[in-house]
C-alpha cells in the first residue's frame, strides 16, 4: 500500500466517530486532585467543553480533528453537523469554566504537557480556519484566553525543566514542544517560539546513537526517538539537521526497529491499544522526516509510512472504544499533516 490518502469515505468515518465521542460523557477517566471535601463534580460541569471522549486530552484532540476536517474537506456530508456540534461546544462561557479549572491551586500540573500542547494545536487550527470562516473565528476567540494561559504555563515550565521526559506516552517532552511550536508560529508568539527552540537544543541537540532497540515500551503510542527527530528538524536548517541526524541516528540493525510496525496483542486493553497509536504516530514521523533524510533512507521512510498505516489505520474508526476515542487524530496526522515548516524556527 503506497498511495494512501485522506479520501472522502475515510474523512467521513473520522468525522462520525469524533462527533459521537466529544458528546459521549461516559466512560470517563477522571484526572482530578481533590483539595477538600466535596471537591468533585460531574465531568460535564467541571469541563463543559472537553467532557467527552473518555478523558480531557482526547476530547481536545478529537475537537481538533473535526476542525481540521472542516478545513480540509468543507463539503463533507456531515459538515453541517460538525458546525452545529462545535457551535454548541466551543462557547466563551464554557471555555471560561475550563480556564477557571486550570487556575485552581490543585491543577498546576493538570494535563501537563500533552493536553496543553493539544489545546494550543486546536487553537492554531481554529485561528487558521477562522481567517476565512467567521464561525470558526468566533470559536477561536472563545478559546484564546485558555490558549494564552497554557502558552505562558508552558514557557514557565520549560524554562525551569532541566531534563526532558523521553517516554513515548503523554508525558513526552518533544511531542509537546513540536505541537506547541505550530501554535507559536501561527499565533506569532515569539516568546514561546524562542523558549521551545532554546530548550529543544539544550535537551536534544547533543544526543548520539539513539538506542532504538529499547523501543517500544508496552504501552507507548509515540516513538521517543522519532518524535525528537521531527522536533529537531523544525529547530534546525537542513544542513544542521543532516549533521544532527548523522550523530543521532541508530545503527542499521536498530533502525529496523523504527521501520517495522508493531503488533498489538489485545486491542481491548486500554494500554496495549496504545501500540496502534505508535504505528500511526511513527507513520506521521516518517512522513515528515522523509524529505530531510539521507537519500538512501528516503525510500525506506516512504515504505515505513505505508506499512505502519496499513497495520493500524483500520482501528481508528472501526475498533474498540479504548482506541476509537482518540486514535483517529493520529491517523489524520499520518495521512495529511503538512504543518511542518520547511524553514528552521
The neighbour count for residue 70, using CB atoms within 10 Å, is: 21
Alpha helix ranges (H) inside the chain: 8-22, 43-46, 56-72, 79-89, 92-102, 114-130, 134-160, 173-186, 190-204, 224-234, 238-248, 252-259, 274-289, 298-312, 315-318, 321-324, 327-336
- Which structural domains are found in the chain, ordered by start? 8-29+42-336 (1.50.10)
CA pair distance 10, 344, nearest whole angstrom? 33
Q: Is the pLDDT of residue 2 over 90?
A: no
What integer is the mean pLDDT of 58-76? Answer: 97
Peptide bond into 237 cis (omega under 30): no
Residue 206 has pLDDT above 80, yes or no: yes
Nearest to 147 by CA among 109, 183, 107, 194: 183
Query: What tens digit of pLDDT does each residue of 216-225 get?
Result: 999 999 999 9
Cα dihedral 231, 278, 254, 285 sign:
negative
Asked if residue 1 has pLDDT above 70, the reply is no
Name the band, by pLDDT with cuts 50, 70 and 90, for residue 345: low
Q: Mean pLDDT across the stretch 149-163?
A: 98
State the pLDDT at residue 243. Answer: 97
pLDDT on residue 5: 80
- Residue 150's pLDDT band, with cuts at 50, 70 and 90, is very high
Q: What is the mean pLDDT of residues 259-285?
A: 97
Q: Check residue 154 and give its pLDDT.
A: 98
Q: Determine the average pLDDT of the residues in 96-106.
A: 96
Q: How confident is the model at residue 341 (pLDDT cuts 50, 70, 90)?
A: low
pLDDT given at position 238? 84
Biggest alpha carbon–alpha carbon distance for the chain: 62
pTM here?
A: 0.96
What was the pLDDT predicted at 52? 97
Above 80 in pLDDT, residue 47? yes
Percentage above 90 pLDDT, the chain: 93
Amino acid at each position: 500500500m503506497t498511495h494512501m490518502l485522506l479520501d472522502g469515505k475515510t474523512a467521513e468515518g473520522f468525522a462520525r466517530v469524533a462527533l459521537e465521542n466529544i458528546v459521549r460523557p461516559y466512560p470517563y477517566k477522571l484526572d482530578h486532585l481533590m483539595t477538600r471535601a466535596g471537591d468533585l463534580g460531574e465531568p460535564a460541569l467541571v469541563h463543559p467543553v472537553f467532557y467527552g471522549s473518555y478523558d480531557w486530552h482526547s476530547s481536545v484532540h478529537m475537537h481538533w480533528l473535526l476542525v481540521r476536517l472542516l478545513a480540509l474537506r468543507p463539503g463533507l456530508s456531515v459538515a453541517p453537523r460538525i458546525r452545529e456540534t462545535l457551535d454548541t461546544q466551543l462557547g466563551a462561557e464554557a471555555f471560561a469554566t475550563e480556564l477557571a479549572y486550570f487556575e485552581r491551586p490543585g491543577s498546576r500540573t493538570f494535563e501537563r504537557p500533552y493536553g496543553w500542547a493539544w489545546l494550543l494545536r486546536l487553537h492554531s487550527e481554529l485561528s487558521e480556519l477562522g481567517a476565512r470562516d467567521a464561525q470558526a473565528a468566533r470559536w477561536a476567540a472563545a478559546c484564546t484566553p485558555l490558549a494564552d494561559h497554557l502558552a505562558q504555563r508552558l514557557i514557565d515550565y520549560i524554562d525551569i525543566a532541566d531534563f526532558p521526559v523521553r517516554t513515548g506516552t503523554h508525558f513526552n517532552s518533544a511531542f509537546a514542544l513540536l505541537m506547541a511550536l505550530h501554535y507559536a508560529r501561527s499565533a506569532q508568539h515569539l516568546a514561546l517560539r524562542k523558549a521551545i527552540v532554546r530548550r529543544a537544543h539544550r535537551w536534544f541537540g547533543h544526543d548520539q546513537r539513539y538506542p532504538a532497540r529499547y523501543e517500544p515500551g508496552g504501552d507507548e503510542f509515540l516513538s521517543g526517538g522519532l518524535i525528537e527527530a521531527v522536533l529537531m528538524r523544525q529547530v534546525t536548517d537542513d544542513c544542521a539537521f543532516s549533521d544532527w541526524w548523522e550523530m543521532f541516528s541508530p545503527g542499521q540493525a536498530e533502525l529496523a526497529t523504527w521501520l517495522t510496525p508493531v503488533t498489538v496483542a489485545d486491542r481491548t486493553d486500554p494500554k496495549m491499544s496504545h501500540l496502534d497509536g505508535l504505528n500511526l504516530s511513527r507513520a506521521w514521523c516518517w512522513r515528515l522526516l522523509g524529505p530531510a533524510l539521507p537519500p538512501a533512507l528516503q525510500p525506506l521512510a516512504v515504505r515505513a509510512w505505508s506499512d505502519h498505516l496499513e497495520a493500524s489505520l483500520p482501528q481508528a474508526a472501526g475498533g474498540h472504544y479504548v482506541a476509537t476515542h482518540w486514535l483517529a487524530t493520529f491517523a489524520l496526522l499520518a495521512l495529511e499533516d503538512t504543518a511542518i515548516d520547511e524553514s528552521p524556527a
